[in-house]
Structure 1
Amino acid sequence: MHSVNWLKWLILALLVSASVLLIIPPKDRIRLGLDLQGGYSFTLELDKAALDETIRGRFPEGASEAEIASRIKEAMASADETAVEVIRNRVDSLGTLEPVITRGKDGRIYVQIPGADEAKRAEAEKLIRSVAFLDFRLVSSRSGDMAQKLFDQGKAPEGYQIADIGGRKYFVRVPNTPEPPPASIQSFGNPDPGYILMFERAKIGDAEAFTPHYVSRRPLLTGEFIKKAGTDVDMMSGRNYVSLSLNTEGANKFEEITGKYCPYGTSNKSSGVGRQLAVALDGVIYSAPTIDERIPGGNAVIRGDFSPAEAKRLATVLNAGALPAPMKFIGKRFVNPTLGEDAITAAKKAIVVGFAAIILFVALYYRFMGVVAAAALILNLVLLPICAVVASNILSIFVPDVTLSGGSILRLPVLTLPGIAGILLTIGMAVDANVLIYERTREEQLAGRPAFPSIMAGYKRAFLAIFDGNLTTVITAVILFVFGTGLIRGFSITLVAGIMGSMYTALVVTKMVFQATVPETRAKPMSMMKLLNDKVNIAFTRCFKPVILVAVAIIVVSIAATVVRGLRNPASIFAVDFTGGAKVSYAVQVPEGADLGKTLGDIRSAATAAGITDASPQFQQSDDATFLEIKTVLTEVGGVEVSEVLTDALAKAEALKDVRFTYLDIDSVGSQIGGEMKKSALVAIVFSGIAMLLYITLRFEFGFSLGAIAAVVHDVLITIGVFSCLGFQFDLTIVAAMLTIVGYGVNDTIVLFDRIREELKRDQKMSFPELANHCINLTLSRTILTSVSTLLTVFALLVFTTGDIFGFAVCMFIGLLASTLSTIFIATPVMLAWYNNKRPSFSIGK
């Protein structure tokens, strides 16, 4: 028996202890992503054009362009940081659980509100949308006459129309029309120089009406002087209002302004009637009271038709401070908390079943060695937390992402549903290292070596193939992390963490176990099952041409069908991640025996009537549940979120009165960010291919890397074509699957090429095609066993998951089958063709 290396066992014990401590107590330490616990996420962007316009508007007449440009540059530099802080203050006022607000690249701001229901979401969005530009503007003395002239002539700004409500004329919004740009409203009606048109909003019953006022272009006082805002109720009218307390400078300015424009004031000497002072917030007038007297003390009020909640919200945004510019919502995602719970339940089943199937498989096939491998897989899961922390910190070097790391190097990254899929996938792929070692051990035992030396030789001879194969998968994971977003980055972290853990357990821990349990003097070989005869010699080289022809035919037909389908309707190929638009999901209860085809038609009609003319509804069945997905290129209708419009339309549709819809989630992506995601996905795939080409050329020769890349192209094209022909759409999760397939396929190819390189140096007589065929047969057991173990985990995902992860599993299933075949029938013949079936120069005479 060998002496025990206690230092290695001590290191293992410390790693296990640290990993367990990282998740105790699990309820506090394991943080779930929005897709698992429900909640809302927003992707925001500062409107820099509006910021430019606002700053210019605040400068007095005659200010130099250099002065203005300098102030704009200064504001732009601090705008993102200011916006993050203001948004954080506003969202914190909701009392939500651990909201995450972070800055991204190119002025992006990401807001995550875990566990938020629809009411919290609506409130948060209103808080964020309010820029809180509060200003006081002087109303033109001719404002009433000019407004009446507009009504008399029947003129209304774009997007508005005149309505008579209660005997008085107002402007009202034209239904289902976009909000016109502020500039078009401000200049409407040819205002006097130095004045612009603004609206005072009023609620009359259920209607929202607007009274026009012509006010000074430059504000007399702004919200920057507010010390505190509160709410109160007018005892006489019973109406809610917002009270303002100004700081010393603001109080002095306010007293000066009211002194100027009160009756017979210094700027109103000829009139016994005070001027009106409009109180506006974000370009909308809330009230325009007449100044009756000079007002000292720095106290003011904002009156309007406020509900208690609206008054409180207004006070909140004023206290939190003004945003430097309006925020553009370029992406939204909502997951119903119930849907998150269902996803966790399904993921647990998939992990338990997939893990149990692999454990049983390796234990039965490799007997005692299989039990050791199974124990290593369990240990891999135990070490996953500490590996995830290390992987998160390493990957954050490339792209910092606080939404995943939580801002602490010792905090577990957020666990997402794609992350769980990554855990399960790495369990299947982890078996590959054990299979390589054990199959090499089998060969050593067949050569007549005793058990222990055979095992040690197995580790030595399998190391390079394991290292190269896993490194290529890590490369794809890093590329995914760099070019992906939150959920996909969660998958990248668990993929890298799983690889780190499996490399350690397979190469170090299992070796320690064998050193402690297998005597050097043992003559009896290690027992294991045999999949193929030792002398198997299938003539794969004879099948190269027919298999390649079949593969080309499948690629041509499936890709052509995909292109035709995409040209007719791009939304049928690409999800909203890439096209922009919205995907709204509902749980549906349909009366028994109902015609689902007619129901879809009624849903489409209801959506069209609500202004969503391109709605594409689709039912999905899962066990005993029915789900509805509605996709559209719109994200809003008349300024209202598309999910609200759809939900209201479905509830009111007479033809759907017997159908019950439960709103589950929305994935909303602006066209700008959709185009960026499509570009990022393409760049990720290209970079991945280049990285593989460079690495394999470095480790082997160009001819070998060319064969590997040909196999990768085959795998990607086959997967794209077949996946699309099955009716699925491509989104970021599918891009993650494609890049994982790239890594897996290259791993498979490297194992074969590593064996070919080894045999080329050992056997100087066999022709290159014969030697390649011989190596395919030598590694065939490993290829089949690894594919089966990985497919077991993918099959578990197929059986137990739904939605995006089901699509991920289908894509992986197709890709794994394609990559298993391409290593033999694409990579090898391309490599042989490059060398013209002659042995490479590096192997001659060695």
Structure 2
Amino acid sequence: MLHYSRWKSILIWLTTLISILIALPNVLSQSTLDALPDWMPKRPMTLGLDLQGGSYIMLRLERGDIVKERVDTVLDEVRGNLRQASIGYTGLAADGQTVRFRLRDVSQIDAAKEALKDLTAPVSTGLTSASIIEVTINAGTDGAFQLLLTDEGINYRVSSALSQSIEVVRRRVDELGTTEPLILRQGSDRIVVQVPGLQDPQRLKALLNQTAKLTFHLVDTSMPVAEAINGRPPATSEVVYSNDDPPVPYLLEKRAILSGENLVDAQPGFNQQNNEPIVSFRFDSKGAKTFANVTQQHVGEPFAIVLDNQVITAPLIKEPIIGGAGQISGRFDPQAANDLAVLLRAGALPATLTVVEERTVGPGLGADSIRAGVIAGIIGLVAVIAFMTFFYGTLGIIANIAMIINVVMMIAILSLLGATLTLPGIAGIVLTIGQAVDSNVLFYERFREEVKAGRSIPQAMEAGFSKAFGTIIDANLTTLIAAVILFYMGSGPVRGFAVTLSIGIVTTVFTAYTVSRLMIAIWMRRTRPKTLPKGIRTGFFDFAAIRFMAIRNYTFTVSAALTIASIAGFATLGLNLGIDFTGGSVIEVQDKRGAADLADIRARLNDLNLSGVQVQQFGDPSVVLIRVQSQDAGENAEQSAVAKIRGELGDDFDFRRVEVVGPSVSGELALTGLIGVGLSLLAIMGYIWIRFEWQFAIGAIVATLHDLLLTIGLFVVTGLEFDITSIAAVLTIVGYSLNDTVVVYDRMRENLRRYKKMPLPLLIDTSINSTLSRTILTSVTTLIAIAALVLFGGEVIRGFTISMLFGVVVGTFSSIYIAAPILILFKLRPENFQGGDEQDEGKASTAPAV
């Protein structure tokens, strides 16, 4: 019986109340939250960058810089050690990770090995007693030496440099005064920087891109710089250019007298004599002593301050500088002086960091996305509530209350976990609204069947819950598998979608089996119904006797033709791949003056000599989407293209969104997406194989592949952009399609136990007809919710939602006309299923004939 003890009821309602309290901060203003008691939860959901604005930047540490630095160090050590040991050599040079030289006297081979043995000594990695060999030496009998920098040693240096870079990046970002930046290590050579609410992403990129290696050099006055440029400068000097326009050359001594490592402080300021911006710096005690000695010895001579191999300034040393402080002057504006001070205080990067991916959203677009998502959610919620109330009356109201509690619990868990809510995450919540009623529909339809079988209302309701629960678990687990794989294989907003979808699945099952069941128990105790409630209007499905399998050959033929057409279209026309898979840039701008003139924008961008520029209107007449294909000139070329467009359009347009994906990242995203889809199919097939017979697993996979290929055909025919969110849509379609398929399969398995002698086509028709009400009602509610997203969710996720809408339709079709007939094709044997009796077989007489 539907009986709940007092403590169980209290626990369920207490869980609901706690969820409401945890979710409440998301709808209260900050002033109201501040006024609440300290014991009240005050933590709202964390909004993703696509909702609150900000920048996501992925930086790659250039391995080549580390290799070059190590090679230069080995060259210096070889040169110094051999000179100190009085060993003659010739042809000292480097090639890749190999350093070569030849001894003048082959009798000194052993002496040379002894002199260089320090280079081959094991280096401790700091992890327990682990050590690595950074350099190996090979010596020939002819006196030829090869020193090889090992990959293991370079990897260790790269890892150490990445750790150091993370700290430098963190200090630089913190100096900007931004709130809650997130800086993470990703893989072996990358850093992810997320800065919410950032108003000036260009400034952030400039700070992160600059190595900020500061050195102080004496100017070599032994020969004119022009002669050094045209001839051959001294071996100990080199020509370095200034950052002026045009650049000014200087002949500097290669050896730095001091470096930025000796700085303890740097602050922006103004020169009191001419009021020009300057940067004042201060050395530590060692640096101050060295600087004092050098300036004492070289009074009247110039020295240069060099930042990232560019001369910032080269003043004369008028008198000894003994206080350990000085200043850097140049053609600075106040912000440039402040940024230079930030760089110097934060320290130099050990190697160059290249921007390989950037996703920036302006706060205006973020607010628009929130507004669109909330509107779509409210419309979808109201429509689903009306739909369920119409078809189930009082029971529909109970299902609606449970659905609302379900959404509240989702928001509470997201807030409690500190999960990030993204725009696709809002889509996940709306999708959950559509699917949340599925469990209730399964319960209610089972309840009706038990009443028709002659059970009393309480017994029928209890049996309905018991029999439907296994189906609910099977159906939702398949979607959960796809969501979990999507989380691990996805990134950014896609991962946010996977999180909300996963949480939605868990809360849906919980609310359906506890909250809904408890409310129904309370309703039944108070009303003690003797017959079905009059508000239930799904009885007309009881007369369904559709001969689905009678036309299976025709539906197979049509489906096969559409599938082949999709494959052919993919092979010939291809997909309209987004920058996630091809590399390049997408820039959304809004004209400050009103409606945008596309022809004028195209003309202005054509003068920038960028390849593959497309300009199109994007929703509002004032909003324009600019696509720039990959420039095929390395990672920096993509950033240069965006910088050119900013320079050309920045005065007349607001940059609402900028996405830049370099060629290396785009290839990885494409591979990851394919692996994610493949793993999802394998995992789900394995689960169904375990829970059902092998024919069921094959049928589910064939139906799923059918849905995937038709969805690909949709992208081919419509020209919708296929990007990383499309992968999320595809995996969601996989989960939904299998959800529907598993419900039908579960009823087939039950009937196979009951009607062992019934012909398989007839049994399949009986099973589909008996679950038809659930299939239609769930599909319609899901379609209503997704349609709200399509119509009101905004342009940014329109392709994502359209593909999901299509997927629901083809998923419902394939559950009936693909997954089911496969069982006939593979000759599923009813005798494999135990149970049933002759009396049950007699009840099948009303089933449709085939």
TM-score normalised to structure 1 length? 0.84
CA distance in 2, matches of 1:618, 1:232: 46
CA distance in 2, matches of 1:756, 1:74: 58
Please tell me the residue identity of whatever aligns with 1:14: L
Structure 1 position 525 matched with structure 2 position 532: yes
Do the aligned residues in 2 keep the contact of 1:612 with 1:637 (CA within 8 Å)? Answer: no
SS at 2:180 equivalent: coil
SS at 1:306 equivalent: coil
Do the aligned residues in 1 keep the contact of 2:55 with 2:198 (CA within 8 Å)? Answer: yes
Please tell me the residue identity of whatever aligns with 1:630: R
Using the TM superposition, give the Cα deviation of residue 372 of structure 1 relative to its aligned residue in structure 2, in angstroms: 0.9
After TM superposition, the structure 1 stretch with the greater mean CA deviation from structure 2, 305-314 or 639-648, is 639-648
CA distance in 1, matches of 2:623, 2:281: 52
Please tell me the residue identity of whatever aligns with 1:95: G
Structure 1 position 609 matched with structure 2 position 691: no
Please tell me the residue identity of whatever aligns with 1:619: Q
CA distance in 1, matches of 2:608, 2:722: 28
Structure 1 position 29 matched with structure 2 position 66: no
Please tell me the residue identity of whatever aligns with 1:608: N
SS at 1:617 equivalent: strand
Q: State the partner residue of 1:297.
A: 323
Using the TM superposition, give the Cα deviation of residue 139 of structure 1 relative to its aligned residue in structure 2, in angstroms: 3.3
Structure 1 position 226 matched with structure 2 position 266: no
Using the TM superposition, give the Cα deviation of residue 695 of structure 1 relative to its aligned residue in structure 2, in angstroms: 0.5
Q: 1:804 to 1:640 in 2, by over 3 A?
A: closer
Q: State the partner residue of 2:408.
A: 382
- From 115, 120, 125, the equivalent of 1:66 is 120
Do the aligned residues in 2 keep the contact of 1:450 with 1:525 (CA within 8 Å)? Answer: no
Q: State the partner residue of 1:548.
A: 556
**Please, which runs of 5 or more residues in structure 2 have no aligned partner?**
31-42, 82-115, 124-133, 136-152, 838-850
SS at 1:245 equivalent: strand
Structure 1 position 246 matched with structure 2 position 246: no
1:551-630 superposed matches below 5 A: 551-566=559-574, 573-588=576-591, 600-622=598-620, 626-630=623-627
RMSD: 2.7
1:147-296 superposed matches below 5 A: 147-148=226-227, 150=229, 191-202=233-244, 208-259=245-296, 262=298, 274=301, 276-291=302-317, 294-296=320-322
Using the TM superposition, give the Cα deviation of residue 647 of structure 1 relative to its aligned residue in structure 2, in angstroms: 4.1
After TM superposition, the structure 1 stretch with the greater mean CA deviation from structure 2, 374-383 or 643-652, is 643-652
1:356-505 superposed matches below 5 A: 356-388=382-414, 410-505=416-511
Using the TM superposition, give the Cα deviation of residue 588 of structure 1 relative to its aligned residue in structure 2, in angstroms: 4.3
Q: State the partner residue of 1:7.
A: 7
CA distance in 1, matches of 2:373, 2:155: 49
- From 367, 379, 386, the equivalent of 1:341 is 367
CA distance in 1, matches of 2:50, 2:2: 50
Using the TM superposition, give the Cα deviation of residue 804 of structure 1 relative to its aligned residue in structure 2, in angstroms: 3.1
Q: 1:143 to 1:328 in 2, by over 3 A?
A: farther
Q: 1:126 to 1:830 in 2, by over 3 A?
A: same
CA distance in 2, matches of 1:285, 1:56: 25
Q: How many percent identity over aligned positions?
A: 35
Q: 1:759 to 1:678 in 2, by over 3 A?
A: same
Q: State the partner residue of 1:113.
A: 195
Q: State the partner residue of 1:128.
A: 208
Structure 1 position 318 matched with structure 2 position 326: no
Using the TM superposition, give the Cα deviation of residue 116 of structure 1 relative to its aligned residue in structure 2, in angstroms: 1.8
Please tell me the residue identity of whatever aligns with 1:464: G
Please tell me the residue identity of whatever aligns with 1:381: V
SS at 1:803 equivalent: coil
Do the aligned residues in 2 keep the contact of 1:287 with 1:303 (CA within 8 Å)? Answer: yes
Please tell me the residue identity of whatever aligns with 1:523: K
1:596-675 superposed matches below 5 A: 600-622=598-620, 626-634=623-631, 641-650=640-649, 661-675=653-667
Please tell me the residue identity of whatever aligns with 2:664: Q
- How many residues are matched? 751
After TM superposition, the structure 1 stretch with the greater mean CA deviation from structure 2, 209-218 or 541-550, is 209-218
Do the aligned residues in 1 keep the contact of 2:354 with 2:636 (CA within 8 Å)? Answer: no
Using the TM superposition, give the Cα deviation of residue 621 of structure 1 relative to its aligned residue in structure 2, in angstroms: 3.1
**Please, which runs of 5 or more residues in structure 1 have no aligned partner?**
154-188, 203-207, 264-272, 390-409, 567-571, 653-659
Q: 1:669 to 1:121 in 2, by over 3 A?
A: same
SS at 1:517 equivalent: helix
Q: State the partner residue of 2:60.
A: 45
Please tell me the residue identity of whatever aligns with 2:219: V
After TM superposition, the structure 1 stretch with the greater mean CA deviation from structure 2, 544-553 or 415-424, is 544-553
Q: 1:304 to 1:760 in 2, by over 3 A?
A: same
CA distance in 1, matches of 2:699, 2:404: 36
Using the TM superposition, give the Cα deviation of residue 370 of structure 1 relative to its aligned residue in structure 2, in angstroms: 1.0
Please tell me the residue identity of whatever aligns with 1:615: V
CA distance in 2, matches of 1:643, 1:585: 11
Do the aligned residues in 2 keep the contact of 1:733 with 1:804 (CA within 8 Å)? Answer: no
CA distance in 1, matches of 2:319, 2:69: 31
CA distance in 2, matches of 1:194, 1:436: 83
Do the aligned residues in 1 keep the contact of 2:756 with 2:831 (CA within 8 Å)? Answer: no
Using the TM superposition, give the Cα deviation of residue 533 of structure 1 relative to its aligned residue in structure 2, in angstroms: 4.2
Do the aligned residues in 2 keep the contact of 1:385 with 1:412 (CA within 8 Å)? Answer: no
Deviations 1:626-671 (A, max 9, x none): 533333324988796433422443579xxxxxxx643221111111
CA distance in 1, matches of 2:703, 2:166: 46
CA distance in 1, matches of 2:24, 2:16: 13
Q: State the partner residue of 1:841.
A: 832
Deviations 1:567-619 (A, max 9, x none): xxxxx611011111100112248988xxx9xx545433322211213101122
SS at 2:393 equivalent: helix
Please tell me the residue identity of whatever aligns with 2:410: L
